Homo-oligomer: A and B are copies of this chain.
Amino acid sequence: MADLLVVGSVALDSVATPFGKVREVLGGSATYFSYSASFFTRARLVAAVGEDFPKEHTRLLESRGVDTSGLSVVRGRTFRWSGEYGYDLNDARTLDTQLNVFAEFRPTLASEARSVPYLFLANIDPALQLEVLRQMTRRPKLVALDTMNFWIQGKRDALVRVLGEVDVVTINDAEARQLADEANLIKAARAIAALGPRTVVVKRGEYGALLLANGGFFMVPAYPLESVYDPTGAGDTFAGGFMGYLASRDATDGATLRRAMIYGSVMASFTVEDFSLNRLVRLTPAEVSERYAEFEQLMRVEPVE
């Protein structure tokens, strides 16, 4: 079992879906990621919140063993995001973004964090992702990053630079097409791999996820859920399960990557069953194992006798 560090956001989200709505609940990429990863390995989080950030949220992360010593509390208000989803839960519509203290976020790693073997650069400005990489005193065994349309459009040069230095990129399908400027997703994934990351993970929402590693593809379906309440955080929860499993095995070979894809899908499938981290908070390790077995069953083909 190896340590895993995530640098990203901790936020208060307000979300409306056809199935209900919530106001100012715990959210943020580093939150979902670290909570999900905590089912597999020791997770540390680097992020910033304002003085208004409820202490119980920090305690919730700590109750899972997440190291929150990298969570700076700074003057001002916590990052807030507000969005809604229609019946097509694949598409979030952002209603409001208040960056607040997150606007000035300049991640600084504590000295013991500078040598973690597994590092996840969640969806933040690619210039900051690069700054974090520069702070590492030892090249991690595995660095992954996530990004989004905002940076692909506005900071493409910086993004391409940092992509050249990471091992894994996690990205959703529309953004993969946008980054590669290529409508065909398979070509797009190969084009992204050509930018540097030897492993490309494309998140496809209700259609599952795709792995391109060492030139070969692996596809995992989404779990057949009858009720999806809120897809917020699904991608970061996926990444937390994926990276958390890799760190727990301290391995990145092909077979381990494939199992990590399933663990990522397992964790994401729970997150979307309720708002915020509510379902994860009720989740037990036994449920994780059970759903992993169900995923295997969902994909199993017996050889022709």
CA distance A60 to B296 in the complex (A): 41
Known A258-B302, A259-B304: A297·B184 in contact at CB below 8 Å: no
Residue from B183, B218, B227, B298 within 8 A of A298 (CB atoms): B218
Smallest CB–CB gap between A231 and chain B, Å?
13
Question: Is A76 positioned at the interface, with any CB of B under 8 Å from its CB?
Answer: no
Question: Is A300 positioned at the interface, with any CB of B under 8 Å from its CB?
Answer: yes
CA distance A185 to B229 in the complex (A): 14
Residue from B210, B226, B227, B301 within 8 A of A259 (CB atoms): B301
Question: Is A286 positioned at the interface, with any CB of B under 8 Å from its CB?
Answer: no
Question: Is A281 positioned at the interface, with any CB of B under 8 Å from its CB?
Answer: no
CA distance A17 to B258 in the complex (A): 35
Q: Which chain B residue has the least Cβ–Cβ distance from A218?
A: B298
Contacts of A77 in B (CB 8 A): none
A186 and B226 contacting across the interface, CB-CB below 8 Å: yes
Residue from B183, B187, B301 within 8 A of A258 (CB atoms): B301
For this chain, the copies found in one complex come to 2
0/1 interface trace, chain A 257-296, chain B, CB 8 Å (1 if under): 0110010000000000000000000000000000000001
A224 and B298 contacting across the interface, CB-CB below 8 Å: no
A298 and B258 contacting across the interface, CB-CB below 8 Å: no
Question: Is A198 positioned at the interface, with any CB of B under 8 Å from its CB?
Answer: no
Which one of A23-31, A148-156, A201-209 contacts B? A201-209
Question: Is A228 positioned at the interface, with any CB of B under 8 Å from its CB?
Answer: yes
CA distance A187 to B226 in the complex (A): 6
Smallest CB–CB gap between A260 and chain B, Å?
11
B258 and A300 contacting across the interface, CB-CB below 8 Å: yes
Smallest CB–CB gap between A33 and chain B, Å?
23
Q: Report A's interface with B, CB cutoff 8 A.
A: 87-88, 183-187, 190, 204, 206-208, 210, 216-219, 221, 224-228, 255, 258-259, 262, 296-304
